[in-house]
Amino acid sequence: MSYLDELNEIQRKAVEHVEGPLMIIAGPGSGKTRVLTYRIAHLMDLGVDPFNILSLTFTNKAAREMKARIEKVTGPEARNLYMGTFHSVFARLLRYYAEKLGFPSNFSIYDTQDSRNLIKNIIKEKGLNDKFYKPSIVHNRISNAKNQLITAKAYASHMMLTTEDELSGRSKIKDVYLEYANRCFKAGAMDFDDLLLNMYELLCKYPDVLYKLQHQFLFVMIDEFQDTNVAQYEIVRKLSAVHQNIGVVGDDAQSIYGFRGATIQNILNFERDYPELKVYKLEQNYRSTKGIVKIANEVIKKNTGQLEKTIWTDNPQGDKIRLLKAASDNDEAKKIADNIHEEQLRNHYKNKDFAILYRTNAQSRAMEDALRRRNIPYTVYGGMSFYQRKEVKDLLSYLRVIVNPKDEEALRRVINYPTRGIGNTTMQKVTIIANEQNKTLWEVLKNAQSYGFTNRVVKVVHAFITMIESFSTSLDKKDAYTIAAGIAKESGLQPSLYDDKTVEGISRFENFQELLNSIKEFVTADEEGALGTEAIDKSLGSYLQQVSLLTDQDDKNKKDEAVKLMTIHAAKGLEFPVVYVVGLEEELFPSRLSISSREGIEEERRLFYVAITRAEKKLHLSYAACRFRFGKLVYCEPSRFIDEIAPFGIEFVGLVAKAQKSNSSKGYSNIYSSKNKQKKTVARPPIDSNFKADDTTGLQVGAKVQHQRFGVGNVLDIEGNKPNIIATIAFKDIGQKRILLRFAKLQILEA
């Protein structure tokens, strides 16, 4: 059977489109990846050389999976495709043409932490107030500028940007950006954003390079097009300008990365840029039940800025969507953990079938506590990346210095670790000399004796330089693992970690060994991952490029047999039989940072749409009447998104079900509002002016207490950690109350 026979009618038309601009609008669960991979396979079947096809994705994982699928159809020729993430493909091209831009071909790639460390040093050197010039804020500002193709020099003369900085009290950002760009250039380093900016600069400044690449890449395909930023789109427009065989796949309704610089306008205005565009809409959903698809459509149709489409499915109707109102965030988490346990018993779901999605990482705490109490295994996506652990970054930094001694951030990290007597005072002096003479730190260190350093410092610096250079000279002779294993021992890193026999120390040593294992796997891998005609490059430089370009999606915890906890942003592209979307409250979801503009609200609504469409069979929504935020207990209003979906096949559970029964004729908004509380008129004891509260630090379950207003009650439960301990108390006259002890005034009648 031909692979084309696996496609529905509209999918097949999209796959068989050959020449001219193409846009495939792919709704959730509509077979997007299959269409994208089969189109590339079809081009190859028609005789297009894979060397002439450029396919860009957002994760290395997606690129690997797509290439593997294509290879099943076309055979080993698929290995010759230029397929990868924007950053990995552009990094490869930039290494080939780096010298045209004044960079070495083995330039370092700074990750976010490297960039922020360098910015932090620049802020300190310039004597700026780090309360205003926080490295993260400055870095984000620089990053956003680069994604808009604004260089440091252009930024400094950009009236609107510099005026914004002045109004925010950060008028010197332009100076920090200029110095940052200069230091990266001097260090032979590019950050992630530079891989885009410099690629664009290369195409603009060197017409011969542009001409060559335009005639090499006859077909250009872009996955997740709605997530592209200005720089990415402008680069691919240039590359495809001659033949105009540009094909994009995406869904404007899933554009959720505006905070990273992605612009939904790229996909909304694509037809304006290409009037001859052919559009195919993949509207059949193969993933979710009819009930879930219906809710998703109702959500997204509220947005004004979108491409028209209606998602449908032939799947069964399925269960109603459940909406839970909980008393608090802890109550919400407990009920979800209970429901997971119930689903496992009744419907035989496995742990891996469940996902709990939230708007902010901080929401995971309550969920984790509840799952632990239930002994339900879970894993949190978005924790510290393996490659961000200190012991891992230490060895990687040594390897970066071996490949590129001018790499300032890596050099600073390893110069005195393990301790060798090159302290902060020495490095401050080295930095001052380097800045004054416009030299690199490495150049100053190599000539330490001529700059008046003490004999002791000169001796230890010379030993360090000699060690690094001895490994650098073997870069062309030895593979990545041989060099890494050697520097691990000779630098003292491996022995120092091995000697630490604490639990934490053993864990760090295991991580260190795991990194060496990964390098060993890299050099012993077969040719399957080859890009283009060349055999696998097993050099240290090649390995470092691969590691530098790993995306968040590539480094997820692979504990399959566990409930998954993650932000909705991290869940994009994934699917689960049972999904819980929690924290549907105003100023949480939608975020308080987004409710001041239509664009912000519409992106939050798209985020809700993404959350809903992760579910295959069952969808649970929930919100809390109160939760802890920034250390304080706050009362919450239900999200506006609940009102938007309430009339469409929802089953009410928990407190909201009770409200529904007593308010069935009063409208949905009245049901959800936390202001709509059924109050009892009860006789409360008068306030005693002589009432004196006791210290409740050691309050235990079973204690009998008296509250100034609520009267006498018994303590049923104690939960939480200091200072946010909550007691559940059953009062004789008014029933149960959950009270935050640090604010409550209680007399302990019986301990």
Lowest mean pLDDT among 307-316, 506-515, 520-529: 520-529
Q: Tell me: pLDDT of 672 over 50.
A: yes
Q: Which residues contact 732 (CB under 8 A, 6 or more apart)?
A: 711, 712, 713
Q: Tell me: pLDDT of 464 over 50.
A: yes
Work out the angle at residue 748's Cα, subtended by the Cα atoms of residues 746 and 751, and round it to the nearest 5 degrees.
145
CA distance 626 to 734: 19
The pLDDT value given to residue 489:
92
Mean pLDDT, residues 104-133: 91
- pLDDT > 90 in the chain, percent: 55
- Answer yes or no: 629 catalytic: no
- Answer yes or no: 342 catalytic: no
CA distance 95 to 545: 10
- Answer yes or no: 585 catalytic: no
Cα-only R_g, the chain: 30
Q: Tell me: pLDDT of 556 over 50.
A: no
What Å distances lie between residue 135 and 111, 177, 262, 332, 346, CA to CA? 14, 11, 22, 36, 51
- Answer yes or no: 72 catalytic: no
Q: Tell me: pLDDT of 528 over 80.
A: no
- For the chain, helix (H) and strand (E) counts, in that order, are 31, 22
Q: Which residues contact 299 (CB under 8 A, 6 or more apart)?
A: 605, 608, 609, 612, 641, 644, 645
Q: Tell me: pLDDT of 529 over 60.
A: no
- Candidates 286, 281, 283, 282; CA nearest to 314 is 286
Residue 604 in contact with residue 594, Cβ under 8 Å? Answer: yes
Q: How far apart are the first and last CA of the chain?
A: 77
Q: Tell me: pLDDT of 341 over 90.
A: yes
Residue 562 in contact with residue 378, Cβ under 8 Å? Answer: yes
Residue 603 in contact with residue 254, Cβ under 8 Å? Answer: no
Per annotation, catalytic residue among 116, 281, 614, 627: 614
For 295, other C-beta atoms within 10 Å of its C-beta total 26
**Widest Cα–Cα separation across the chain:** 93
Per annotation, catalytic residue among 33, 265, 449, 747: 33
* Residue corresponding to tokens 């060559």: 212
Lowest mean pLDDT among 463-467, 483-487, 648-652, 659-663: 659-663
Per annotation, catalytic residue among 114, 193, 223, 394: 223
The arrangement of strands across the sheet holding 726-731 comes to 735-740, 726-731, 711-719, 704-707, 746-750
**Token digits of residue 77:** 């020729």
Residue 358 in contact with residue 567, Cβ under 8 Å? Answer: yes
Using a 10 angstrom Cβ sphere, with 0-12 exposed, 13-18 middle and 19 or more buried, the burial of residue 504 is exposed
Angle between helices 598-612 and 290-300 (to 10 degrees): 170
Using a 10 angstrom Cβ sphere, with 0-12 exposed, 13-18 middle and 19 or more buried, the burial of residue 701 is exposed
More confident residue, 644 or 724: 644
The β-bridge partners of 190 are 109
The pLDDT value given to residue 685:
47
pLDDT in tens, 9-19: 999 999 999 99
- Answer yes or no: 719 catalytic: no
Per annotation, catalytic residue among 224, 251, 329, 585: 224
* Residue corresponding to tokens 């030299």: 439
Structural element, H or E, at residue 154:
helix 152-156
Structural element, H or E, at residue 15:
helix 9-16
Q: Tell me: pLDDT of 535 over 60.
A: no
Q: How confident is the model at residue 560 (pLDDT cuts 50, 70, 90)?
A: low
Residue 605 in contact with residue 299, Cβ under 8 Å? Answer: yes
More confident residue, 687 or 359: 359
The β-bridge partners of 279 are 23
pLDDT in tens, 226-265: 999 999 999 999 999 999 999 999 999 999 888 788 889 9
Long-range contact pairs involving 95-104 (C-beta distance under 8 Å, separation at least 24): 95/545, 97/202, 97/206, 97/209, 100/202, 100/205, 100/206, 100/209, 101/198, 101/201, 101/202, 102/185, 103/185, 103/188, 103/190, 103/198, 104/188, 104/404, 104/406
For 587, other C-beta atoms within 10 Å of its C-beta total 15
The pLDDT value given to residue 161:
94
pLDDT in tens, 195-215: 999 999 999 999 999 999 999
CA distance 19 to 36: 15
CA distance 476 to 469: 13
What Å distances lie between residue 718 and 523, 627, 654, 703, 724, CA to CA? 55, 16, 21, 11, 11
Residue 74 in contact with residue 374, Cβ under 8 Å? Answer: no
DSSP string, 427-480: HHHHHHHHHHHT--HHHHHHTGGGGT--HHHHHHHHHHHHHHHHHHTTTTTS-H
Phi-psi region of 438 (alpha: psi -120 to 50; beta: other; left: phi over 0): left
More confident residue, 303 or 628: 303
The β-bridge partners of 705 are 713, 748
CA distance 18 to 278: 11
More confident residue, 647 or 11: 11
- Candidates 203, 279, 268; CA nearest to 241 is 203
**Token digits of residue 672:** 């959800």
Q: How confident is the model at residue 579 (pLDDT cuts 50, 70, 90)?
A: very high
For 567, other C-beta atoms within 10 Å of its C-beta total 19
Could you give the 3-state DSSP secondary structure of residue 330? helix
pLDDT in tens, 154-178: 999 999 999 999 988 899 999 999 9
**Token digits of residue 54:** 């450029």
Q: Tell me: pLDDT of 99 over 90.
A: yes
Q: Tell me: pLDDT of 689 over 70.
A: no
The pLDDT value given to residue 665:
43
The pLDDT value given to residue 231:
95
Q: Which residues contact 201 (CB under 8 A, 6 or more apart)?
A: 101, 151
What Å distances lie between residue 354 and 613, 619, 717, CA to CA? 14, 10, 28
pLDDT in tens, 474-490: 998 899 999 999 999 99
Could you give the 3-state DSSP secondary structure of residue 180? helix
pLDDT in tens, 690-738: 677 888 888 888 889 988 778 888 988 888 777 678 888 888 877 778 8
CA distance 108 to 401: 9
The pLDDT value given to residue 515:
84
The pLDDT value given to residue 530:
42
The pLDDT value given to residue 684:
43
- Candidates 411, 413, 412, 406; CA nearest to 439 is 406
- Answer yes or no: 660 catalytic: no
Residue 401 in contact with residue 108, Cβ under 8 Å? Answer: no
CA distance 620 to 653: 10
The pLDDT value given to residue 452:
84
- pLDDT > 70 in the chain, percent: 89
